[in-house]
Amino acid sequence: MWKTIFKRFLVMIPQLFVLSILIFLLAQFMPGDPFTGLITPETDPAVIERLREEAGLNDPWPVQYVHWLENAFQGDFGKSYTFKIPVAKLIGQRAGNTIILSFFSLILSYLIALPLGMLAGRYHNSFLDKTITTYSYLSFAVPTFVLALLVLWFFGYILEWFPTSGSVDVQLRSGSLSYVLNRLYHLILPAITYALLATTSTIQYLRSEVIDAKTQDYVKTAKSKGVPEKVVFNRHIFRNSALPIASTMGYQITGLIGGSIFIEQIFAYPGMGQLFISSIQSRDYSVITALVLLFGIATLVGTLLSDIIMSMVDPRIRIQ
């Protein structure tokens, strides 16, 4: 398996190369540049032109790309023109918040989806099944920003149960128990909102797999031997039905990281998603290209991670 993983990493190299070119070209096609926002009637055009020349923005795009790629390999993505600090440092400050939010959202989504998917499949065509299926359809159909705004308005502003912005109260000392608890308190609303919207695929996959597994010979054999129905479902059906869930886990992890943009923006949660939106608004190209590249890398790693998890769940399956 390790040899196969190494080969997959080698395949990822040209994929990353092509991805980096596409990202850089798309950034070049965006209107304006980082210095466009500095232009006012009082601004001397010569000053703006000098800044563009110093930043290398007047060079041909192949020259700019090679220079950007060389620095990226060294972990240098340039300097943010908005925040006036290195992009790597800026992303490092925000990445932890996004990873924590995605981790808790993933855990909550499985805590919600696994029992619902099992119940829907076990009691197929019952009122309970139809109720769960309706919920999964609604979670798929409702836009992220709509549910997030409703949750924020009701629980944050009307009931005032939870904070409406930030990741932690600024007066708390890092490392203390109150600091950790306060961070978890700020996570509750965005994590639950994100989890409710991320359960659809897991519920549907598990439901269909359970329905299919109930007709298999090994289930009929276990029931004919007098094995209790609870044991049949928990030990046999659930174990075999979990394979497709495991195969999509890597995609879900990376999807949560990349899809946190709207959640972070609405809840004013200082993560990479909120940073991405603000960078687009301010035309901070250095931050935009770095974030899109990281999201692309996360997607490629997620594909490999799904295959690895699949082979660990069922040793009979080997990634090719």
The tens place of each residue's pLDDT in the chain, 320 residues long, gives: 667 677 777 777 888 888 888 888 877 777 666 666 555 556 666 766 777 776 667 677 788 788 878 888 887 887 787 788 888 888 888 888 888 888 888 889 888 888 888 888 888 888 988 898 898 888 888 888 888 888 889 988 888 888 888 878 777 777 778 888 888 888 889 988 888 888 888 888 888 888 877 777 777 777 777 777 777 776 777 777 766 676 666 667 666 766 678 888 888 888 888 888 888 877 777 888 888 888 888 777 777 777 676 666 655 555 45
For residues 76 and 88, the answer to whether their CB atoms sit within 8 Å is: yes
Place of tokens 């298999």: 216
CA 241 from chain centre, in angstroms, equals 24
Q: What is the value of pTM for the model shown?
A: 0.77
Rounded to 5°, the CA angle 77-90-274 comes to 110
> What pLDDT score was predicted for residue 78?
78
The one-letter amino acid at 277: I
Structure tokens at 197: 């919207």
> What pLDDT score was predicted for residue 34?
64
> What pLDDT score was predicted for residue 20?
84
> What pLDDT score was predicted for residue 183?
85
Rounded to 5°, the CA angle 115-209-247 comes to 85
For residues 128 and 120, the answer to whether their CB atoms sit within 8 Å is: yes
Can you tell me the distance from the alpha carbon of 84 to that of 106, in angstroms, rounded to the nearest whole number? 34
Strand partners, 86: 79
Task: Select from 217, 270, 226, 282 the least CA-distant residue to 35.
Answer: 282
φ, ψ dihedrals at 85, nearest 5°: -135, 160
Task: Select from 175, 148, 172, 176 the least CA-distant residue to 162.
Answer: 148
> What pLDDT score was predicted for residue 25?
80
Give the count of alpha carbons within 13 A of 198, CB side only: 30
Sort residue 43 into left (φ over 0), alpha (ψ -120 to 50) or beta.
beta
For residues 97 and 271, the answer to whether their CB atoms sit within 8 Å is: yes
> What pLDDT score was predicted for residue 181?
87
